[in-house]
Structure 1
């Protein structure tokens, strides 16, 4: 009797080979009660199975292949075919739903990966910013990159900067939408005038950087702005090294602009608590805090800085007579312009 019983049993290795499951998986299914051996040798611990258990082992492998949890597999194997069919149908429906969701997510990720980085901003605001900032770009090509406008896309910010070493203008815009990481390039300022005019006729612009251009897209039209492939000067070091403000002036921008438009090539501003005196010209009332100071400027440097400033009132932050003066709107500080004073002429230079 013992001999016939032994012949009816197969080893765990034999069942593993017959069912496509590994021996370790069969041991696991034994431990969780899903497929219990017919006999376990008390001395060796070897597991033996009946030939009829091969079908159950194969079913477990198939059900695990479609990601059915063990609890549901146990329910399917222990209930009548009608209930088992319902459980399987429910699982397949759930798999189909998850597959659709996965396909949608995969499509969105693929689209995101295939898209180039870009920034969407108000076209009118960008046109205004380009005109304001590009006024500080160099008019000569002695140092080519200084004849450009640096465009930097950061986190929730699009910053434009230009400098000719005597002026520096920078303005930060808040994007409406943004995709991709940070990037920067230098636009050739010579080609910006027609682009600025076009921007004023559209509502929103999408800016996309490439190796050789900044592509501006709106209403199905596309403009390419040439870039200058040179590193831009470290303007942030200039801004961070301005020093403490010793004098602050708030003056009507239009009044100062009118005086500068009539000034000679060099203009001298004497600042005290009463306001600004443009030497050999007239006096402008202004709100002044800090120490009295006298500054000299090339009019060609100071006039564009005042002209492109924002708002009716202009704020001047002054650290010293030989340090850059910071000009910005007294009410809107997102445009900052630096204007470098010149050294006042000495008495000997004036006589010569």
Structure 2
């Protein structure tokens, strides 16, 4: 028996190492139909791929690395060389923006190498500001549970994770950092974090470190102290691990979905079937969006005050909705990068149809 499990097929782990994609990314591309395994074991659920699929996986990784949307990747891989060239040429301007971002990241990495101060973590200031903005809107507005008015910040050997929840929505974002000397975690007052956003966006790099009663944030020789909350944060990882199995998966253009929710304070009903999502608002506005659907059609409703911030904070041009049932939390995944995860709790659906047969 070889590492491939057979003479022709390779496991998802082998393909991941050969292509440079992570196993989670390969599972995502299977879910959206971009790179479907040659075989899936009916008992274990293990995915197996042909060696010939490695080249396609590498191409997908390269295209996603320069920000090409999933539907454009499908067209590029369709086999029309001239069309592929036109699509890639049209994407060149986006590379300039990404090159600027890469320069900022490189500066951060260079400054963080050799940093041995206990607990200090160095990262891009603009990246931290963006992560704060993406998760802090999920914090609670009341002090009923003190920890929910804060953002849980966890440092590890290579990343910083920010998490917030108000029990109706949960957002967690992970960003890459340099090499902190120790792991640590704090629940930080969300208001204090919001107050340093403008300052962070004007800086190049920032150092964060835990101290008694505070998170110390330093950039450009200026220090800010954000208060911490001495209360236990919910075990969000157990919450994510305990989610019910996904029955319906919807891949949709983020901006079109956001347009239907922004500026509207009410309930919006999602009715999805085949390749179409029908969005209906109580004010009578209806819009039909093309989607990629896996699983049965479903009707599910959301309060826009809960849904809009989750869509607005999502990364990239597409988002994926993983739906278990109309009354269970819906997982919103980023199609660009899996480092931002959001759970949104549905509300009562006036149609009350649930999954469609």
Fold shared per TM-score above 0.5: yes
The alpha-carbon deviation at position 335 of structure 1 amounts to 0.5
Matched residues, number: 234
Match of 2:129 in 1: 127
Among 274, 285, 294, the residue aligned to 2:290: 285
Please report how far the alpha carbon of residue 248 of structure 1 lies from its aligned counterpart in structure 2 after TM superposition: 1.1
Say which SS state the counterpart of residue 179 (structure 1) adopts. coil
Q: Equivalences for 1:27-38 in 2 at 5 Å?
A: none
Gaps of 5+ in 1: 1-110, 348-352
Secondary structure in structure 2 of the residue aligned to 1:296: strand
Q: 1:153 aligns with which of 146, 149, 155?
A: 155
Report the counterpart of residue 71 of structure 2 in structure 1: none
Q: TM-score, normalised by structure 1?
A: 0.64
1:302 and 2:303 are equivalent in the alignment: no
Find the counterpart in structure 1 of residue 254 from structure 2.
253
**Distance apart, 1:303 and its partner CA:** 0.7
- Kept in 2: contact 1:122–1:176 (CA 8 A): no
Aligned-pair Cα RMSD in Å:
1.7
Contact persistence 1:133–1:169 (CA under 8 A): yes
Cα distance in 1 between the residues matched to 2:225 and 2:192? 9
- Give the 3-state SS of the residue equivalent to 2:349 in structure 1: coil
Q: Say which is worse superposed, 191-200 or 144-153, in terms of deviation.
A: 191-200
Deviation at 1:338, TM superposition (A): 0.6
8 Å contact 2:157–2:179 — kept in the other structure? no
- The structural deviation recorded for 1:287 is 1.1
**Residue of structure 1 equivalent to 2:37:** none
Where structure 2 has 5 or more consecutive residues not aligned to the other structure, the ranges are 1-114, 353-357
Preserved contact between residue 119 and residue 177 of structure 1 (Cα < 8 Å): yes
Report the equivalent of 2:177: 175
Cα distance, 1:130 vs structure 2 = 0.3
Q: Note if contact 1:135-1:308 (Cα within 8 Å) is conserved in structure 2.
A: no
Alpha-carbon deviations, 1:287-310, whole Å to 9, x = none?
111111111111110011001111
State the structure with more CA Rg: 1
Which residue pairs with 1:211 in the alignment? 212
Within 2, Cα distance between the matches of 1:243 and 1:162? 21
Once residues 148 and 212 of structure 2 are traced to their aligned partners in structure 1, the CA distance between those partners, rounded to angstroms, is 19
- TM-score calculated relative to the size of structure 2: 0.63
Q: State the alpha-carbon separation in 1 of the partners of residues 265 and 203 from structure 2.
A: 40
